[in-house]
Chains A and B, each alone.
Chain A
């Protein structure tokens, strides 16, 4: 793997984890006694940018490198399910995470007054953030299993 693809893989992981951590913080901020709208906006923006960056880096790595150099060793190895099931699911779920994050970004930035006054909207936003975190964790665990199934140097 050359330095460019190595960077793509590392940034895919780092930005993805940072985005999950940020979106895990959002429900805690929303649950607080007084909602700090400024902090909510920063968290939602950082989380969205994190997912977007992870999306671009991971997508480029997947299209340009994974298919040629990583997929075959996994399919020929002891755990072909890592690609057949996990990667095939991951690449689809992964596609809509930035869109879910974008919905949160829009709600926090354009409906902040309603968020303070409407308990229902706030609770739904918390549920959406928890859904993003859960999907993010599932994708992360899949990524760990896929990485763990690569044995031979391509």
Chain B
């Protein structure tokens, strides 16, 4: 197996773990809210998902740098390194890291943090797959912001619906 294949496999595994665990963390969170509270056992299950998200992020970052080394050695230059798609991806990963820290230190609302995490993982995955994105940085980033705000309200709506059902 050559290095590029190894890096690609690691990058896909990191993305799968991150996107999968974030999605299931949201689904289970809403499911656990059905009785109106998160008990210690349910909290433990959610903690497992958060650990998997962290693991996915670490694998994604390391394999991402593997890609960068390969690009550098092949002299792909500004066309790839300064492409809109790559710059948005880097921005989103930085936002993801900042949100993780802010959530841990209770600097932002947990619902806001988990929405940013969910949308960021999906955007990173979509940008990773959609290699010939025709859109510029401002367009992609605006779409990300709009998607985050929309997802926040959708999740709030679902959360309220689940809580109302319980009462």
Contact = CB atoms under 8 A, between A and B. Distances in A.
A147 B68 contact: yes
A9 interface: yes
Nearest to A1: B73
Interface string B18-62: 000000000000000000000000000000000000000010011
A interface, how many residues as a size bin?
20 to 34
Interface of A, helix, strand, loop or mixed by DSSP: helix
A104 B52 CA distance: 27
Nearest to B69: A10
B112 to A, nearest CB: 19
Interface of B, helix, strand, loop or mixed by DSSP: helix
Contacts of A145: 81-82
Nearest to B62: A17
Interface string A74-97: 000111000000000000000000
A108 interface: no
A20 to B, nearest CB: 9
A147 B72 contact: yes
Interface of B: 58, 61-62, 65, 68-69, 71-73, 75, 77-78, 80-82, 90, 94, 97, 101, 104-105
Given A137-B97, A148-B72, A149-B78, 5 more contacts: A13-B68, A13-B69, A31-B105, A130-B101, A149-B77
Interface of A: 1, 6, 9-10, 13-14, 17, 21, 24, 27-28, 31, 77-79, 130, 137, 141, 144-145, 147-153
